Structure 1
Amino acid sequence: MFEDTHDHHVLLTPGPTPIHPRAQQALMRGMLGHMDPEVFALNREIQADLRVMYGTEPEAFTALLAGTGSLGMEAGFANLVEKGDEILVCANGSFGRRMAEMAARYGAHVRLVTAPLGEAIKPEDVAAHLDGVAMVAVVHGETSTGVLNPVPEIARLVRGSGVLLTVDAVTTAGMEPFHMQDWGVDYAYTGAQKCLSAPPGLAPIAISERAFARYAARRTPTPLWYCDFEGLRDYWVEHTYHHTIPVNLHYAFHAALQAALEEGLDARKLRVQQLGQVITRTLAPLGFSHYVRRPEDRLPTVLALRLPTGMDDSAVRLALRAREISVTGGLGPTAGVIWRLGLMGEAARPAPYRALMVALQDLLGAPGLVARYEEELEAAGLVGEKQSVLV
């Protein structure tokens, strides 16, 4: 018999994140049709809020795709890449490699700029391979390794060259300021279930006017009908039918996005940085250490910690799961080497991580761990910080 444990499950994964209480409430409302005037009004508000979240130009097209972040990734290549285009993909982890695979499936000739696992892409490596490319694609926060790539510096190199810049903002947008217009980003996307703590199933996208012009100049129709930019614009702007949107997910997303903007992106960024430092300092005496060597390369929202020597990764995570605490290990080469702790949205609160410390104190035989965590919280000024409703 299935047991509903959601009221006390502690989700510390790099996504999905715990649903924001306002989003949870919005999910419960009655159904409306996807062509209802009230839904169109809601969508206009979502579009305006997304322009703020992404820092777009005033008239940039924003929308929600009915799929997760990977659909956001695919839609960019489907609409902006044509067979034979030279595409430069920055790949220093699983999601950069996914970009390369998708671009190739749409007929692109893919050039790779790589960096060792746990290290950021070097802007000079991008500069050395820019000749003749139609697009540069980069993952801002590489979720698989906890690395932050230098998007502003890469964007500076690309700007003015006529080359489009696509940015995967899955673990950054909504948790810190994102400056699409100022940096010169042409296409950006994230997933609703990441920094915004909305339910999975929506990919918020933003498309620059330059990218729309490139799309309009295509020689052949977009191969992916479902996310054709023109079809999306017909629905979102002209209010003509294209496909049925997940209406209740839109309501939940709207509530979560408004909550994020009310808190403020600068405030959210600070909250994540402070809590990340607290967790790292608390766990350091047990032998946990940063996987990403250079501080400037560390992704604040996915804390990648190298495990203590001799710790049985899967056994400890299974024991945590038995206590209703979900922690994610490494992917591929980092499996058994690191944990990836999610610090996005409602997971980036003191209470869920207090539950982790309570469990680890017991499982690892580490007396004083919880007390140290409380001391670090106090030192960081986070003691009065809003506690998660899920713990």
Structure 2
Amino acid sequence: MKLLETPQLTPPAPDYSEHTLLTPGPTPIHPRAMRALTRPMLGHMDPEVFALNRAVQADLREMYGTGPETFTALLAGTGSLGMEAGFANLVEKGDDVLVCANGSFGRRMAEMAARYGAKVRLVTAPLGEPINPADVADHLGSAQMVAVVHGETSTGVLNPLPEIAEIVRRSGALLTVDAVTTAGMEPFDMKGWGVDYAYTGAQKCLSAPPGLAPIAISERAFARYAARRHPTPLWYCDFSGLRDYWIEHTYHHTVPVNLHFSFAEALRAALEEGLPERAARVRWMGRAITAALAPLGFSPYVERPEARLPTVLALRLPDHFDDAGVRAGLRQREISVTGGLGPTAGLIWRLGLMGEAARPAPYRILMVALEDMLDAPGLVRRFDAALESGV
């Protein structure tokens, strides 16, 4: 069954004539978000800004799949600030925190939790494989928080979040989720899964400019925060100060107003398209790219199809492939693709399929370039045929 028939079912793509950005983030800025960046500046305490923020909060609840009263907000920083804010507010010295780590960003979670005094334990999986929910159950013990990366950007793995969340929910532990490469492109059920803290980055699936971290905080998380023995060590993102600004409209710090306006447009565009439709679009694109490149020796890095992260297509490179040389040649043609990170450097490419990158136009530019550089006649034709058939 085809999830998406033709490119005509999706909104017009932006102009890629200057640079083709196919990385796992940032992504090409949505045209509506780009226009919003140029609007005249308003003060961060202006009533129009507060009205915009209320609309953003409502849209974030829809994106994350929360309850109607769940607190949502934008942090003035990238996704890593979203990660840190959760640990800063919800972890105290000596807390037992279980971190699911099967890539670079899971291990970053562990490092941050440790810096805030947690006794960190790890559940691991080999690179390219998802976390096993049974291992989470076996190691849960008396953990007060479990942290997991939904889509591990460094390896292109989709962790089984619903299954992990069910185990954590029964234990009573808080669940923190890195949704950086899933929220806004994949349906996310924060309420149904029982997620307590979730965050992403504006520049990922929503194709807004970098500089904002959309977060959602459950009432259980706020209760844990209220029970802290000591003040939150990170003043800038203290949950109480954030709530004062976003709900009570009292001054806390100066928010990047034009980034708020730009983000609001990108988020609204995503919701208008529909999260199921966006999920279908990314899978359609991933199948076409994989089918086109397969005869050249590219293959999925993640063996199990259900464990492949749709928004970051991790492809194992052909034998004797000049990874650095080809990517440098592409860069000379104003095309950016990303190689592996750490132990996967030189082994894989990580192609971004988030937001406005998950369109035929930019990837056709890549196919044209590779057909020429690799002397691979028929590559563009295969890609077009795969798009048409839905493979």
TM-score by length of 1: 0.96
Is 1:9 aligned to 2:41, yes or no? no
What is the deviation of 1:7? 5.0
Is 1:311 aligned to 2:321, yes or no? yes
Residue of 49, 56, 61 corresponding to 2:59: 49
Alignment gaps of 5+ in structure 2: 1-14
Q: Which residue in 2 is equivalent to 1:151?
A: 161
Residues in 2 aligned to 1:83 and 1:202: alpha-carbon distance in whole angstroms: 28
Q: Which residue in 2 is equivalent to 1:358?
A: 368
Q: Aligned pairs, how many?
A: 377
Q: Which residue in 2 is equivalent to 1:276?
A: 286
What is the deviation of 1:126? 0.4
Q: Secondary structure at the match of 1:128?
A: helix
For residues 301-332 of structure 1, the C-alpha deviation after alignment (integer angstroms, 9 at most, x for no partner) is 00000001111000000000000000000001
Q: Which residue in 1 is equivalent to 2:385?
A: 375
For residues 259-309 of structure 1, the C-alpha deviation after alignment (integer angstroms, 9 at most, x for no partner) is 000000000000000110000000000000000011111000000000011
Q: Which residue in 2 is equivalent to 1:92?
A: 102
For residues 73-111 of structure 1, the C-alpha deviation after alignment (integer angstroms, 9 at most, x for no partner) is 000000000000000000000000000000000000000
Does the 8 Å contact 2:92/2:116 carry over to 1? yes
Q: Secondary structure at the match of 1:253?
A: helix
What is the deviation of 1:161? 2.0
Query: Share of identical aligned residues, percent?
Result: 80
AA partner of residue 290 (structure 2): T
AA partner of residue 299 (structure 1): L
Residue of 213, 216, 222 corresponding to 1:212: 222
AA partner of residue 314 (structure 1): A
Q: Which residue in 2 is equivalent to 1:80?
A: 90
Aligned ranges for residues 272-351 of structure 1 at < 5 Å?
272-351=282-361
Residue of 226, 243, 265 corresponding to 2:236: 226
Aligned ranges for residues 62-211 of structure 1 at < 5 Å?
62-211=72-221
AA partner of residue 196 (structure 1): L
For residues 195-248 of structure 1, the C-alpha deviation after alignment (integer angstroms, 9 at most, x for no partner) is 000000000000001101110111100000000000000000000000000000
AA partner of residue 284 (structure 2): Q
What is the deviation of 1:58? 1.2
Residues in 2 aligned to 1:160 and 1:241: alpha-carbon distance in whole angstroms: 39
Residue of 269, 273, 281 corresponding to 1:259: 269
For residues 8-31 of structure 1, the C-alpha deviation after alignment (integer angstroms, 9 at most, x for no partner) is 200000000000000000000000
Residues in 2 aligned to 1:79 and 1:289: alpha-carbon distance in whole angstroms: 42
Does the 8 Å contact 2:16/2:362 carry over to 1? no
Q: Which residue in 2 is equivalent to 1:388?
A: none
Residues in 2 aligned to 1:66 and 1:7: alpha-carbon distance in whole angstroms: 30
Q: Secondary structure at the match of 2:139?
A: coil
Alignment gaps of 5+ in structure 1: 382-391
AA partner of residue 82 (structure 2): G
What is the deviation of 1:131? 1.2
TM-score by length of 2: 0.96
Residues in 2 aligned to 1:288 and 1:202: alpha-carbon distance in whole angstroms: 34
Does the 8 Å contact 2:149/2:177 carry over to 1? yes
Does the 8 Å contact 2:36/2:258 carry over to 1? yes
AA partner of residue 151 (structure 1): L
Q: Considering only aligned residues, what root-mean-square deviation do their CA atoms show, in Å? A: 1.0
Q: Secondary structure at the match of 1:17?
A: coil
Stretches of 4+ aligned residues off by more than 3 angstroms: none
AA partner of residue 302 (structure 2): V
What is the deviation of 1:160? 3.1
AA partner of residue 51 (structure 1): R
